[in-house]
Structure 1
Amino acid sequence: MKTTFTARHFDASQQLKQYSVDAVQKLDQFYDRIVTCDIILEPTPDDEEPQQAELNVKIPQKLLNAKEKAPTYEQAMNRVVDNITRQLKKYKNKHFTNH
């Protein structure tokens, strides 16, 4: 799985980048044919939840996308990974239990 990391409109620390990459690596246990993962972190004008994480996960014949906001980037990453995990499980159930 190829992972790209983008921090829009701010400089991400090495720890934040590592945390994000480690978080998406866990997706492999739910679906092993993930081609690429694009992590995009950016600040938002929202006072309650000023950090946003977006995750684009490419699997054969499909692109899964999720966006989540939270008070910190780490929390946003956790939420977005949970969201993609649900999408992967749903995709897997739909495509591999019927055959």
Structure 2
Amino acid sequence: MDIHFTARRFKPHQDIRDHALSAIKKLDKYYDGIVRSDIILSYEGKNPSLKATEIKVKVVGAVLSAKEKSDDFHKSIDMAMEKSGRQLDKYKSKLRMKNKKTLRKVKEKENGEDSGDE
């Protein structure tokens, strides 16, 4: 997985950067087909006390995005990570359902061909 970290209009402390990078690495437990992850930290609007974290996760065929705001970067990172985890679970279950449907179609075709030979 390719990880890109961006802080807009400020230089983050090392502990915030480390927390964000270690958190994004945990997304592999939800789905191992992640191609790229972007973490974007910024101050929201004209209010510098509101911190925003945006996480974009690129998987094959889709880009999942989660944005959360909080009074602390650690909280906003954790909330965005939870949201990304839920999105990856949902994506993975949709992928499984799609695979099950195609397997059923293949099995039905095989069964149809076998009965035609008799």
- TM-score tier by shorter-chain length is over 0.9
Letter in 2 for 1:92: K
Q: Which runs of 5+ in 1 are unaligned?
A: none
- SS of 1:68 mapped into structure 2: strand
Q: Distance in 2 between matches of 1:95 and 1:32?
A: 13
Gaps of 5+ in 2: 101-118
Higher Cα Rg, which structure: 2
Provide the identity percentage: 35
Q: Which runs of 4+ in 1 moved over 6 A?
A: none
The CA distance in 2 between the partners of 1:22 and 1:40, in whole Å, is: 14
Do residues 73 (structure 1) and 67 (structure 2) align? no
- Residues 48-59 of structure 1: matches in 2 within 5 Å? 50-59=50-59
Q: As a proportion of its length, which structure holds more helix?
A: 2
Which gives a bigger RCO, structure 1 or 2 (Cα 8 Å, sep 6+)?
A: 1
Q: TM-score, normalised by structure 1?
A: 0.93
Task: Report how many residues are paired.
Answer: 99
The one-letter code matched in structure 2 to 1:77 is I
1:7 deviation in Å?
Answer: 0.3
